[in-house]
Structures are given as structure tokens and as C-alpha cells.
Amino acid sequence: MTDQITITRPDDWHIHLRDGQSLERSVTDAARQFSRAIVMPNLVPPVITAEDAAAYEARIRQNIPAGNPFQPLMVLYLTDNTTPEMVEQAHAKGVVAAKLYPAGATTNSDSGVTDINATFPALEKMAELGMKMLIHGEVTTNDIDIFDREKAFIDSILSVIVDKFPTLKVVLEHITTSHAADFVRGAREGVAATITAHHLLYNRNHMLVGGIRPHYFCLPILKRNTHQEALIEAAISGNPRFFLGTDSAPHARDKKENACGCAGCYTAYTAIELYAETFERAGALDKLQAFASEFGPDFYGLPRNTDTVTLKREPWTVPQTLPFADTEIVPLCAGETLNWKLVD
């Protein structure tokens, strides 16, 4: 049995760091394990312009522990009013991607896109500049069941975008279904997906059997076990279209343990350990490095990291809560024992 693994330092290709006082916790946790992170722009108000992104990046940088080379990669939030000029300005300032949130699909998506056609001039410009398009892939119409929203989005919107902009690099974020894995596997070149640790570890039974567990509630929502199995298969397949994106999303404990609880799981504190856990269970620890540290930078056209992280087989218990701004947060797997521990 392997008792220690050393891999190229991973990057997180989808994380929520939030803002203000939240940054101390979220940035410290991310920077402890990841070298770079694609920082989601769904603040209130969202990151809509190049100036917003630059100002947000500066606030993040103030919270990076001294001497840590962590690099936030900034993302623009697409709205119905994002112009090609705004895309151009953001690209010139080093913004690497723009994010499509269908309006109302998830946390802080109220300013998101209401009409996909409105984004086409911006998408055209992104394709030209090599800026990536990141997508929360769910439709939002009330007649579509929440468990079917990812598939409906792929069929009605994603397939259209991918065909209409053949050179646009597209990431379908936090995939949750076999449909999504199949679509990405079979799509044209330049289409990829991120997979979270929680969608690899859990299915909807974990969230709903024996009581409702709000800390497993995220969007897109956990699906049935056959979908979980399809995601594990994709993650360990060695197919470079699938790579790590935690979607770690901090919500204060009282916002999760609530009659109308927020969507999002906090995994930044334990992220690489959770992925190691999943890969080991699937008998594929040898595939972790490529998924966590190689396929992401390759897709983004960035160099792979040159330093490493080491994980030891050393059972440890995840704390019940973590301090978070002036309140607390419940990390995923709180109170549970994990087998792998990141060596600091």
C-alpha cells in the first residue's frame, strides 16, 4: 500500500473566494495547496469590467500569506450587456476567461444572462482573443425539473454555442451527469469540463436519506449514483478534457443550516485530500497528478507548475467548523476522518 504520494502542485480551475473579510479564510485555504486558481466573479455586485477584475485581484492579493506565490486568475461575469470592447479591455488586463451564469441558475446569478443571443458579439471576440468561456450549465425555466437542468442546458444551449463558435475554448463547469461527461468526451476540440470533489464523493442519497443534509446542497445538485459513477470514470480516465475544479463556495453556517439554505460546499480546506480519497477508492491514485496538475494548465495554455505537494496516509479528523469572517463555516466532511493528509 502506498503511504505517501508526491505530485506536481495542483491548480484549482474553479473556486469562489468571495470578498471582504471572507478572503482571509478562502485565500489562505486555497493558497495552501493550489498554485493558481480560476476565481469566480459572482460577487455582489459581480465582476463585470476589467477595472472590477483588477480591483478584486488586488483585494485577493492582500490576503495571500507572505511569501506564498499563489496566483489568482481573474474571470469576467457575462451579462446581456457585455460588449466586445469590454472583453478586449479585460483580456488586455490579463483576465483569462468570462463566465456564463444563466440568470437565476445559482448563487449570485441575478445579473446573469437572460438571452444567450445577447452574448454572441462578446463570445465572437473571446474566440478571437483566445479567452476561455466558462459555463454554469443549467437551464432555469420552471418547467424543467432541477435534476434535468444540466442535460436540458447541454441539449438546448451548449451544443449551439459549441457549434456556432468553433474556435471558442469552452469549459462546462462542475459537471454532475453522465450526459455532461458524454457530451464533453464527444465534443469538438477545445471543450473541457471541471469536476468537483463533492460530486465524485457523493450522490443525492447522501444528501437526502435519513434526513436532509444542507452541507451537501450545491448547484448543480447532486444526482443519482449512476451519474456519480460516470463522473468518477471520467475523472480517472486520463482523458485530458476532465480536470480539477473544486467549486469550493463558502457560505456561513447559518446561511446553510436554514429553512432556505444556500447552495455551495466548502471544500477548499481539504480539497486535494478529498480528491486523493476518491482516486484511491477507485484504484487510480496514479491518475491524480494528471487530473489535478496537468490537464488544466494544458487546456488553458499555461505552463504546468514545477513544485510539488506531498500527501501522507495519516488519518485525521476534519474540524466541525472553521472561523470565517465574524462567523463560522462548516467544511465538507466536518467531523469525518480522512485518510490522506497534505504535508505542509
Ligand X SMILES: NC(=O)N[C@@H](CC(=O)O)C(=O)O
Q: Contact residues for ligand X (CB under 6 A)?
A: 16, 42, 106-108, 136, 218-219, 247, 249, 263-264
Which of 247, 277 has the CB closer to Zn ion?
247
Flag whether 174 is marked binding: yes
| 229 and 176 Cβ atoms separated by less than 8 Å | no
Q: Which of residues 209-248 bind Zn ion (CB under 5 A)?
A: 247
In the region spanning residues 126 to 145, those forming contacts with Zn ion, defined by CB under 5 A, are 136
Residue 265 contacts residue 330 (beta carbons within 8 Å): no
Nearer to ligand X, 175 or 309 (CB): 175
Catalytic residue among 155, 247, 298, 344: 247
When the beta carbons of 192 and 218 are compared against ligand X, the nearer one is 218
Complex with Zn ion: residue 136 or 227, whichever CB lies closer? 136
In the complex, what is the shortest distance from the CB of residue 241 to Zn ion, in angstroms, rounded to a whole number?
Answer: 18
CB of 262 to ligand X, least distance (A): 6
Residues 92-121 that bind Zn ion (CB under 5 A): 106
Q: How far is the CB of 78 from ligand X (least distance, A)?
A: 14
Q: Is residue 16 annotated as involved in ligand binding? A: yes
110 is catalytic: no
Minimum CB separation of residue 238 from ligand X in Å reads 26
**85-109 core/surface letters (b: 16 or more CB in 10 A; e: else):** ebbbbbbeeebbbbbbbbeebbbbb
> Is 251 annotated as ligand-binding?
yes
Partner whose footprint covers residue 264, from ligand X, Zn ion, none (CB < 5 to 8 Å by kind): ligand X
307 labeled part of a ligand binding site = no
Binding-site sequence positions: 14, 16-18, 42, 99, 136, 174, 219, 247, 251, 263
Which active-site residues does the annotation give? 247
Query: Which residues would be at the binding site for Zn ion (CB under 5 A)?
Result: 106, 136, 247
Binding-site sequence positions for substrate: 16-18, 42, 136, 219, 251, 263
